[in-house]
Chains A and B, each alone.
Chain A
């Protein structure tokens, strides 16, 4: 069964460093998403991506964040200058028909900023 994959599973970085989180969505899906979940809190939407551009972003997704689909399979989230409060699980998700229909989540990347 196709699934969303994410690398790395755990990333430790120092405050102020740049990190890139990588995702490979399900191959025939066209809609891609990043969510985050701070420990003990709810899943929060960051950004959605369709047709090679951002379709929606939340207030969390400020200028420190960017997304890219560098090739036909990868979807990346870059945090330019990490802060302590960026420590969270970051989930990538994909959908073949958009947010009115099923979104499938990857296993997540645990980001720890020290």
Chain B
């Protein structure tokens, strides 16, 4: 039940395209979901988090949460070569929890 499943990729998109990253989970008690970006050899960098069903937009990024289907996704519009990184999905397992469970990440390559 700790698992957060992500396609490891690599996912390749051309510059300017929309990149779509997906994450599924099995624990229906999961509360908040997070997307982090991690460049090789660096620490995770928070992109955004979502806890309500629906869409949440921040600049070129949109997170989508569907608790009934138990998936969360991240759309990156107008992808740039600098977006090339590993994208980590994480979840808070229950309302009072004070930890995060991470997926293995999806490697994204944006081709100039």
Instruction: Write the residues of chain A forming the contact surface with B, with a CB cutoff of 8 angstroms.
Output: 31, 33, 35, 41-45, 48, 50, 55-56, 58, 89, 91, 98-108
Contacts and interface: CB of A to CB of B under 8 A. Distances in A.
B98 interface: yes
Nearest to B103: A42
Contacts of A35: 100, 102
Contacts of B49: 101-102
Nearest to A44: B102
Contacts of A56: 97-99
A55 B96 CA distance: 10
Contact of B92 (A43, A89, A99, A106): A99
A43 B44 contact: yes
Given A35-B100, A42-B105, A45-B99, 16 more contacts: A31-B98, A42-B102, A44-B102, A45-B101, A48-B99, A98-B98, A99-B32, A99-B98, A100-B31, A100-B95, A101-B32, A105-B36, A105-B45, A105-B46, A108-B42, A108-B43
A109 to B, nearest CB: 10
Given A48-B98, A100-B31, A42 B104 contact: yes
Interface of B is mostly: loop
Nearest to A91: B43
A99 B102 contact: no
B8 to A, nearest CB: 10
Contacts of B92: 99-100
Interface string B78-105: 0000000000101010010111111111
Contacts of B98: 31, 33, 48, 50, 55-56, 98-99
A58 B99 contact: yes
6 contacts: A35-B102, A42-B103, A44-B102, A55-B98, A89-B43, A99-B92
